[in-house]
Structure 1
Amino acid sequence: MKKFIAVLLIVFIVSACSKNPTNSATPTSGLPTPGVTTVAVPDVAVTVNQFLDLWNNGDYVGMYGMLAQTSKDAVSEEDFVNLYKETASALSLSQLDTGIVSTLVKPASATVGYQVNFISNLYGELSRNMEMTLVNENITWKIQWHEGMILPELTGGNHLASSIQAPSRGDINDRNGNTLATETQAVALGIIPNQVSWEYEPVLVDTLSGALNEPKNIIREMFKDGGDNYIPLGEITQAGYDAHATTFDSYGGLVKNPYTSRYYYNGGVASQVLGYMKLISAEEIDQYTRLGYARDAQI
């Protein structure tokens, strides 16, 4: 009987112990596996070629839009555009040939070597090798700009200028040897009507008619309602003015402006053959200086 009770106690103890087995599972945090996203660095050559193409097309405002913010803080859009225009005019620039020669790319910056061939209407072809530094701003390449990226010689705030001296044009004569156009000393005549002493007006009009080869009624019609305004009347050679100087210098209201220029006799005849010349207008200065003309040239 005692043996039976002992066996029951052993079975009970073993059974009681087996109700709390050891948990051997590995604990987890309950968080998802982290994801990794890779963003590729944009192609720096695309940005550089776009900048150089805008330069060749004269889109300086578009170029300015590609600058890094630090560069925009250092130079205004107006100064940036004016410097490129000024340099193009000084070079008499026709077009650019550009190309990338080297690249060094890092995640946050890049250095690109490039060559520019300046094709000038006056000076032929000039070639320069330069470097461009770019920074990665919000996954977009932006250019750290300085003056030396136009020409190395402009580094430090230098400016390019040209001095053009055009030779005098030859005379044009008719078949009888009469001069139709020449380079000479001339005088532009004008009048301020309200300053004329009208008791002498008939003599003045008569002299102007002979000097300018215009009828008297046309001369009077030109300035009759001029008041205090300057009214241009015409041009004569310096020799022609000297022949009437005593009369011209005796009366108030007549304005004389001597100059050296192309002069067309008899008011300009056969203009369909000779053509004519004029000063370059403000709107045309950029166009003509890039063609090789001086800013004060007559065309």
Structure 2
Amino acid sequence: SQPTSQPSPDATAAAYLSAWEAGDYATMYARLSPASRAAIDAESFARRYQNALATATVLTVTTRLQSALREGDRAYVSFQLALDTALVGTLITDTVMSLSLHEQQWWVDWDEGLIWPQLAGGHYFRMEYIIPVRANIYDRAGLGLATEGTIVTVGVIPGQIEDENAVLAALALVTGLSPDEIRGRYAVAPADWKVPIADIPAEVSVDHNDLLTSIPGIYRDEKEGRTYPHGGVAPHVVGWVAPVPAEEWEAYRARGYRGDEWVGVSGLEAWGEEILAGRHGGVLTVVTPAGDRVATVAERPAVPGRAIYTTFDRDFQEQVQQILGGRRGAIVVLDVHTGAVLALASGPGFDPNVFVGPA
């Protein structure tokens, strides 16, 4: 009879690591020893890997077997692990996988340390994102076309309204919305809710401060965000920002985005996203289940965004937009000597600030 081949711990380890590189957690789980499978179910096992890799912004997993040591029915396989992350570069470590022999087959004795050595004992990854301020878009003289500034959300608390006509008149004045549209936004809201009506520029809030302060039922909240001065100058060209589109989430994740950022979706804001947004930085740490920091694994500083200067003349551009008015059409003004675009208006126009207002 032919001699039976001896099972190899190397082969089990290689199959396990190959499955990990492919994200095949079912195959990985099938290689666990009976004791390991008794300690964690397949769904929790997969989720433990997925959560750790997602938190660390891991894009690819690469492993390389190095050596194996067998001691009776125990074996220890050392391997190099490389996790290529979107935010803090490539993490590389040498670690060891323990295996045990059961019924003539080698199985992986699993613990969290196989994901990353410092996760042993129930520890977790935590990522602190460092997100640079979005840079501005300017005209040729350094006047802002798209800037980071203070946005004021103006709204109502229905239960505090004493004179609804006064509320509607004041909000119509500062937002440009009709009284019916304003009333429709809070009509069915509970009395104690803060109901946002619109975002307005900080200067409008300041100009009408006495009026807005004097009328019960109106509130204002401030936040930092993207603003388009003067109601949007050259909005078709400058574009606007919006939350990361769902269909583009994976592409942004691969660039280290957290997912709650506002990104350019049109015009120069979209074309110059990498220039304006800079590069995210991060600090990856290991923490206990209680959230106490154990160690810093890796960190990378953020790279500031860079401003974009256009050839527009903002004041002249506004005049050209006023000439076009609400008519359909376009006006392009070039510098006859250099070919630089001094103004480019397209009608009908719009105010990009409405796209960064409350939903």
Structure 1 268/189 Cα, relative in aligned 2: closer, same or farther at 3 Å? Answer: farther
From 175, 178, 181, the counterpart of 1:212: 175
Q: Shift of residue 164 of structure 1?
A: 2.2
Higher strand share goes to which structure? 2
- How many corresponding residue pairs? 261
Q: What is the match of residue 123 of structure 1?
A: 88
From 130, 140, 144, the counterpart of 1:165: 130
Q: Distance in 1 between matches of 2:140 and 2:188?
A: 42
Deviations 1:131-184 (A, max 9, x none): 111223344432101222222232333333232222111122467876443222
Letter paired with 1:209: A
1:243 and 2:207 are equivalent in the alignment: yes
1:183 and 2:148 are equivalent in the alignment: yes
Structure 1 73/277 Cα, relative in aligned 2: closer, same or farther at 3 Å? Answer: same
Q: CA RMSD in A?
A: 3.7
Q: Distance in 2 between matches of 1:73 and 1:146?
A: 12
Q: What is the match of residue 97 of structure 2?
A: 132
Q: What is the match of residue 52 of structure 2?
A: 87
Structure 1 spans left out of the alignment, 5+ residues: 1-35
Deviations 1:170-212 (A, max 9, x none): 1224678764432222222333445422xx2222222212322
**Of the two, which has the highest radius of gyration?**
1
Contact 1:93 1:291 in 2 (8 A): no
Larger displacement relative to structure 2 (55-64 or 271-280): 271-280
SS in 2 for 1:123: coil
Letter paired with 1:157: G
Letter paired with 1:168: V
Q: What is the match of residue 15 of structure 1?
A: none
**Where do 1:266-281 residues align within 5 Å?**
266=231, 270=235, 273-278=238-243
Q: What is the match of residue 108 of structure 2?
A: 143
1:203 and 2:160 are equivalent in the alignment: no
Structure 1 162/64 Cα, relative in aligned 2: closer, same or farther at 3 Å? Answer: same
Contact 2:81 2:92 in 1 (8 A): yes
Q: What is the match of residue 227 of structure 2?
A: 263
Structure 1 165/225 Cα, relative in aligned 2: closer, same or farther at 3 Å? Answer: same
Q: What is the match of residue 96 of structure 1?
A: 61
Q: Relative CO higher for 1 or 2, CA cutoff 8 Å, sep ≥ 6?
A: 2
Indicate the percent of aligned positions where both proteins have the same amino acid.
26
1:63 and 2:28 are equivalent in the alignment: yes
Letter paired with 1:181: A
**Where do 1:222-241 residues align within 5 Å?**
222-226=185-189, 228=191, 231-241=195-205
Q: Distance in 2 between matches of 1:253 and 1:41?
A: 81
Deviations 1:96-116 (A, max 9, x none): 221211123567343222111
Structure 2 spans left out of the alignment, 5+ residues: 264-359
From 257, 261, 265, the counterpart of 1:293: 257
SS in 1 for 2:242: coil
Q: Distance in 1 between matches of 2:216 and 2:46?
A: 48
Q: Distance in 2 between matches of 1:174 and 1:219?
A: 35
Contact 1:99 1:116 in 2 (8 A): yes
Q: Shift of residue 95 of structure 1?
A: 0.7
Structure 1 118/233 Cα, relative in aligned 2: closer, same or farther at 3 Å? Answer: same
Contact 1:182 1:262 in 2 (8 A): yes
Q: Shift of residue 88 of structure 1?
A: 1.8
SS in 1 for 2:243: coil
Q: Distance in 2 between matches of 1:230 and 1:267?
A: 28
Q: TM-score, normalised by structure 1?
A: 0.69
Contact 1:135 1:143 in 2 (8 A): yes
Q: Distance in 2 between matches of 1:284 and 1:80?
A: 28
Q: Distance in 2 between matches of 1:287 and 1:108?
A: 46
Contact 1:280 1:296 in 2 (8 A): no
**Where do 1:100-111 residues align within 5 Å?**
100-105=65-70, 108-111=73-76
Q: Distance in 2 between matches of 1:269 and 1:75?
A: 58
Letter paired with 1:148: G
Q: Shift of residue 271 of structure 1?
A: 6.8
